[in-house]
Amino acid sequence: MAGFPKSTSKNPKLGEKAKQPHPAIPLNKEIILQLIQRHRGNLSRVADSMGSTRTSVRTVIDKDEALKTALDESRARWIDDIEESVLSRAHETNDTGLQCFVLKTQGRHRGWDQDQQPDQAKAIATAAFEYVMNKTKASSQ
């Protein structure tokens, strides 16, 4: 990307500020757009790359519909990538906990609804209680 130097850190850790924020790059729409895409919608990274504050970058974005859309799309693509990774890992590793999570979140429309479990447990407990009560009544007669 032209217009600003590349970051000195290839993979900064979550929450870690840029090693050397760039001094006073103007809050230019095209530069912000490129940085939103590069940093997958992480406004703190965008601001650090520009030597600005997150609030200043957010103010510029809030005033521009194209930047808002780009931010939303970048974050949606990031979530898509994570979903794809989780689905692949659940399939390849036989991690039953992860598989249950995927089924409960992505397979709801097929009956894998996590809200049904409490209802099912209650129905089973009620049926067991009624069975015991009926058996007790029958044996006392």
3-state secondary structure 87-135: HHHHHHHCCHHHHHHHHHHHCHHHCCCCCHHHHHHHHHHHHHHHHHHHH
In sequence order, which residues have a C-beta less than 8 Å from that of residue 72 and are 6 or more positions away? 41
Instruction: Look at residue 91 in the predicted model and tell me its pLDDT.
Output: 86
| 110: confidence class by pLDDT, cuts 50, 70, 90 | confident
User: Residues 95-121: what's their mean pLDDT?
Assistant: 76
User: Residues 4-21: what's their mean pLDDT?
Assistant: 52
The pTM for the full model equals 0.57
Structure confidence by residue, pLDDT tens digits, 30-61? 999 999 999 999 999 999 988 889 999 999 99
Instruction: Look at residue 8 in the predicted model and tell me its pLDDT.
Output: 47
Cα–chain-centroid distance for residue 104?
A: 16
More confident residue, 53 or 141: 53
User: Residues 113-137: what's their mean pLDDT?
Assistant: 72
Question: Is the predicted pLDDT of residue 75 greater than 50, yes or no?
Answer: yes
